[in-house]
């Protein structure tokens, strides 16, 4: 991790969930970029890619879905850990979602904020060195 303060990109089309996750993570000492869909998340990624340590994304969003966002980041050799938060287990089960450390973890909505905190901490702790992320 290259940052003193870990930076997380949160993409979710539900304003309430996106803001809740952001406020919770910020209260835990993280810096958070928020995106309302995959397209906005991709723009933020391109602008701040050397800062971002973790992506948290919903699967079903208008425009670019979370799966498409994950594919775009993998194609750009992002090399960051990812976490899916989704209320649609059927969509997640049907996908082959492999990240930098194996299968991308899924946190089903509604989720417990303590569980989110534990998963985020574990993913950031296990993240490969950020210097390897190039496109």
User: Which tens digit of pLDDT belongs to each residue from 7-35?
Assistant: 999 999 999 999 999 999 999 999 999 99
Q: Is 27 within the bounds of a domain?
A: yes
- How many domains does the structure of the chain reveal? 1
Residue labelled with tokens 């340590």: 53
pLDDT for res 10 = 98
Q: Is 125 within the bounds of a domain?
A: yes
pLDDT for res 132 = 38
Q: Is 93 within the bounds of a domain?
A: yes
Q: How far apart are CA 51 and CA 1, in angstroms?
A: 9
User: Which tens digit of pLDDT belongs to each residue from 88-108?
Assistant: 755 555 455 666 556 788 888
Q: Is 135 within the bounds of a domain?
A: no
Residue 67 has pLDDT above 90, yes or no: no
pLDDT-based confidence at 1, cuts 50/70/90?
very low
Q: ∠ CA(49), CA(135), CA(48), 5° rounding?
A: 10
Residue 135 has pLDDT above 50, yes or no: no
User: Which tens digit of pLDDT belongs to each residue from 35-66?
Assistant: 999 999 999 999 999 999 999 999 889 989 89
Q: Is 134 within the bounds of a domain?
A: no
Print the domain residue range for 70: 7-129
Q: Which of 34, 83, 28, 75 is nearest to 54 (CA)?
A: 83
Q: How far apart are CA 3 and CA 105, in angstroms?
A: 23
pLDDT-based confidence at 127, cuts 50/70/90?
confident
Q: 8: part of which helix (H) or strand (E)?
A: strand 7-11
- Cβ atoms 40, 54 nearer than 8 A: no
pLDDT for res 131 = 38
In the chain, % helix, strand, coil (3-state, to 5) comes to: 40, 20, 40
What are the strands of the beta sheet with 106-108, ordered from one edge?
31-35, 7-11, 54-57, 82-86, 106-108
Q: Is 1 within the bounds of a domain?
A: no
Residue 2 has pLDDT above 60, yes or no: no
Helix axes 66-75, 38-48, angle to 10 degrees: 30
Q: What is the CATH number of the domain that holds 91?
A: 3.40.50.2300
């Amino acid at each position: 991790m290259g940052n003193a303060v870990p930076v997380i990109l949160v993409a979710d089309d539900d304003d309430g969930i996106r803001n809740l996750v952001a406020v919770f993570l910020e209260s835990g000492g993280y810096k958070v970029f928020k995106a309302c869909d995959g397209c906005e998340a991709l723009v933020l990624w391109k602008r701040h890619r050397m800062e971002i340590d973790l992506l948290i994304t919903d699967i079903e969003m208008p425009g670019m879905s979370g799966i498409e966002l994950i594919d775009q980041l993998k194609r750009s050799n992002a090399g960051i850990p990812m976490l899916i938060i989704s209320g649609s287990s059927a969509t997640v089960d049907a996908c082959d979602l492999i990240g930098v450390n194996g299968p991308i973890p899924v946190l089903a909505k509604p989720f417990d904020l303590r569980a989110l905190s534990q998963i985020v901490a574990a993913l950031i702790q296990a993240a490969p060195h950020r210097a390897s992320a190039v496109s």
